Amino acid sequence: MGVYLRPRALDEALESLAGRALTPLAGGTDVYPAHAHQAAWNGAPDIDILDISALDELRGIVEDEAGWRLGALTTWSEAIEAVASGRLPACFEGLARAARTVGGVQIQNRGTLAGNLCNASPAADGVPPLLSLDAEVELASLAGRRRLPLAEFVLGNRQTARRADELLVALHVPRPQPWAHATFLKLGARRYLVISIVMVAAVLEAADGRVARARVAVGSCSAAAQRLAALEAALVGQPCDGSLADAVEPAHLAVLSPIDDVRGSAGYRQEAALTLVRRALNELDGHRREAAA
Amino acid sequence: MLTVTMTVNGQKVAKDVDPRTLLVQFLREQLNLTGTHVGCDTSQCGACVVLVDGKSMKACTMLAAQADGCEVTTIEGLAKNGELHPMQAAFKEHHGLQCGFCTPGMIISAVDLLQQNPDPSEHEIREWLEGNICRCTGYHNIVKAIQHAAQDMRS
Ligand SMILES: Cc1cc2nc3c(=O)[nH]c(=O)nc-3n(C[C@H](O)[C@H](O)[C@H](O)COP(=O)(O)OP(=O)(O)OC[C@H]3O[C@@H](n4cnc5c(N)ncnc54)[C@H](O)[C@@H]3O)c2cc1C
Ligand code: FES
Ligand code: FES
């Protein structure tokens, strides 16, 4: 039988991680189904667990000049609530929408954003919106702290740059330009509680009726979600006049490498990604025109 | 072994548990509160939903140790003084169940919904129940029961 630790202070947690390999446990919504499944229902996971859910230092959302810091224990429900109450601005709308499609209310109440990133499923719904926000992860160990752009953290299917002695302690999102809106579109067999076939997240920043910056990420179409850098470059300076979606060319999606699986063929995913990217831009273009009118 | 203390259906309990005990096992096996069901091993079905500090959670996705110090409400804690909770009464009245296996989780989820949104639309009810699976009813009467309970609880 394995070890179970539930420290109340981060230092204590980091100390135990430095000594031995332990599986961090936050909301448990990935850990339990994965392990309980094998051991049949009653055999709770026989792994060495570091339960981080009592670390109050990992809770809360704070804002400063540079942007926002979301503690690693921020749940999907807390993110939804923060956007709904205006504590997080419109550029987080894509993240909130993604949150509402994750697993049903009870999973949203327990599951954390950081757990979603650390689990690094190619279909993780949190990755595209956070990539499109240029989020960074803050990692802590006894050796100190470091920050990594999310794109350098999630490396592939179930692979991250986290060392075994590190905990993800917070997400940092830099402040965008004053007019910034975001969206998230997900294609699944139904809207909720399914593994996504394709998802698209976009953040549009506009000034003087033109695109100042566009950030577009696609998930479930490669081992780790990808930003579409070529498309982002092509969008800068385009007028927000209802034609933004026309700027999207199939070649802009060449970085994707979708696979065939039970949920859809590679060709279908590529096609669906193109359609969703166009829809996302069209929607944000529409927001911009409404704001201008 | 680890001592956990929590308030379950208004009563304080303290027990020594194996730290890996899931909350749902703790409720069923240590407290004999078998109204909270187990329907899957993937945290999908929602038969095990309970309220933890007022919010609906799947008791199979958390350890008893993680509910230490919390207030937990199970289906057994809803009726007061021998009177069914309005949600239970509405499920009974409007046939919101057939085999009844999913019912405790459905009712607890629905109670949480009405705490947050006392007048939900049919769409909002269906969306909220996304994490509760019923293999018998086709959901129709469950939705109807919740709509009636919402009416009763507002009046
Ligand atoms: C019924 C159901 C439906 C679901 N639907 C969706 C869905 O629609 N979309 C989706 O993307 N996901 C879905 N999930 C998966 C899961 O809910 C999410 O990925 C969730 O955000 C995971 O967070 P958690 O806190 O529960 O993680 P945990 O299970 O606690 O941990 C997940 C992984 O991350 C590690 N970890 C967690 N926190 C840290 C940290 N701070 N530092 C270092 N490592 C850490 C753990 O060791 C583990 O490997 C679903 C799960 C269930 C059970
Ligand atoms: S037993 Fe199925 S969700 Fe908990
Ligand atoms: S009534 Fe049988 S599962 Fe819902």
Residues A105-141: tens digit of each pLDDT:
999 999 999 999 999 998 999 999 999 999 999 999 9
Which residues in chain A are closer than 8 Å to B19, comparing Cβ atoms?
Answer: 4, 6, 49
Inter-CA distances, B118 with B114, B115, B121, B124, Å = 4, 6, 10, 11
Q: Are A211 and A176 in contact (CB under 8 A)?
A: no
Residue A28 DSSP symbol: -
Q: How far is B109 from chain A (nearest CA, A)?
A: 8
3-state secondary structure of A288: helix
Which residues in chain A are closer than 8 Å to B20, comparing Cβ atoms?
Answer: 1-2, 4, 44-46, 49
User: Which CATH code is given to the segment(s) B86-154?
Assistant: 1.10.150.120
pLDDT in tens, A202-224: 999 999 999 999 999 999 999 99
A53 and B66 within 8 Å at the Cβ level: the answer is yes
B44 lines ligand 2 (CB under 6 A): yes
Ligand 3, atom 3, residue with closest C-alpha? B134
Ligand 1 midpoint to CA A78 (Å): 15
Mean pLDDT per 10-residue interval, chain A, length 293 residues: 88 95 93 61 68 96 97 98 97 97 94 97 95 98 98 95 98 96 88 77 96 97 95 97 95 91 86 96 90 77
Q: Are A206 and A212 in contact (CB under 8 A)?
A: yes
- CA gap B25, B17 in Å, rounded: 10
Residue type, B101: F
Pick from A52, A56, A54, A48: nearest CA to A19? A48
Question: Is residue A98 packed enough to be buried (19+ CB in 10 Å), middle (13-18) or exposed (0-12)?
Answer: buried
- CA gap A161, A289 in Å, rounded: 40
pLDDT, position A74: 98
Which residues in chain B are closer than 8 Å to A46, comparing Cβ atoms?
Answer: 20
Question: Is residue B73 packed enough to be buried (19+ CB in 10 Å), middle (13-18) or exposed (0-12)?
Answer: buried
Is A180-292 CATH 3.30.390.50?
yes
**Residue at token pair 């430095």:** A18
3-state secondary structure of A72: coil
ipTM exceeding 0.85? yes
Instruction: Tell me which architecture the domain covering B2-77 has in CATH.
Output: Roll (3.10)
- CA gap B104, B109 in Å, rounded: 9
- CA gap A186, A94 in Å, rounded: 11
Mind listing the pLDDT tens digit of every residue in chain B (155 residues)? 899 999 999 999 999 998 888 999 999 999 999 999 999 988 899 999 999 999 999 999 999 999 999 999 999 999 999 999 999 999 999 999 999 999 999 999 999 999 999 999 999 999 999 999 999 999 999 999 999 999 999 98
- CA gap A25, A53 in Å, rounded: 7
3-state secondary structure of A154: strand
Q: Do domains B2-77 and B86-154 have the same CATH topology?
A: no
Query: How many residue pairs bridge chain A and chain B with CB atoms within 8 Å of each other?
Result: 88
Rg (CA), chain B: 15
- As given in the structure block, the two tokens for residue B112 are 């949480």
Instruction: List all residues 6 or more positions away from A200 whose beta carbon is below 8 Å from its beta carbon.
Output: A128, A184, A185, A186, A216, A217, A218, A219, A273, A276, A277, A279, A280
For chain B, the three-class secondary structure string (H helix, E strand, C coil) is: CEEEEEEECCEEEEEEECCCCEHHHHHHHHCCCCCCCCCCCCCCCCCCEEEECCEEEECCCCEHHHHCCCEEECHHHCCECCECCHHHHHHHHCCCCCCCCCHHHHHHHHHHHHHHCCCCCHHHHHHHHHHCCCCCCCCHHHHHHHHHHHHHHHC
Among candidates B2, B38, B131 on the partner chain, residue whose Cβ is nearest the Cβ of A105 = B131
Q: Using a 6 Å CB cutoff, which residues line ligand 3?
A: B 97-102, 134-137
